Amino acid sequence: MGAETPKAVVLVSGGLDSATALAIARADGYACYCLTFDYGQRHRIELEAARRVAASLGAADHRVVRLDLSWMGGSALTDPSIPVPQQPTAGIPITYVPARNTVFLSIALGWAEVRGAQEIFIGVNAVDYSGYPDCRPEYMEAFERLANLATRAAVEGRRLRVRAPLMSLRKADIIRAGSRLGVDYALTVSCYAPGPADEACGACDACRFRAAGFAEAGVPDPTVYRGRAAR
């Protein structure tokens, strides 16, 4: 009888980075158990995008977890009274959601224990990104240490690893890698402030990084922008 296929929990937001991380996990031979969070975000169109991405890339399972962070406020992504910035800003932008990756990874860690997965994949990036503190390599290393202190699996010898395969890649390199692995980026969304017809605003950080990445990669951008090309 052959060896069991290794399992990985993969965080899938519906954006191009997480879609690429899922494609990499699949290419590495993992059965992928995908997690998406419905956390009260204003850009809820990403939830349907995550479903499309997980299905297209052959997820072994996909769960959408309801976890309302909107009561907390403090972010333009969860508080509709705070506008999404339409220009680059200095410092950590108001689109940062307090402790979001810590919450998400903690839930992923629990599911990894239950499923017998020793890998958690997350599509964070520390090159073409908005400067969020929970997207840095030192944060991922610290969470992995925590995971291996806090879980029964690790104490009993089944150590867990947090994989961030896009950490040091430029957006263009991420798009090239995903294209080679068959990611259909038309299924993904990145915009923080989509319009009434779900068109991308073309001005938020996520739109700017996305459009610039496609242009640099020399790959056609399938995104529908609101009345103009992304800047």
| Binding region | 12-22, 191, 201, 204, 207
In the sheet that holds 119-121, the strands lie side by side as 61-66, 31-38, 7-11, 119-121, 161-163
Tell me which H or E stretch contains 37.
Answer: strand 31-38
Contact criterion met (CB below 8 Å) for 78 and 40: yes
**Alpha carbon 227 to its chain's center:** 27
Q: How far apart are CA 61 and CA 31, in angstroms?
A: 9
* Among 8, 17, 11, residue whose Cα is nearest residue 210: 17
Give residue for tokens 């977890």. Answer: 65
Token pair of 152 as six digits: 């029964």
Binding site feature residues for Zn(2+): 191, 201, 204, 207
With CA atoms as reference, report the closest residue to 41 among 74, 79, 14: 79
- Binding annotation for ATP: 12-22
Q: Strand, coil or helix: what is 151?
A: coil
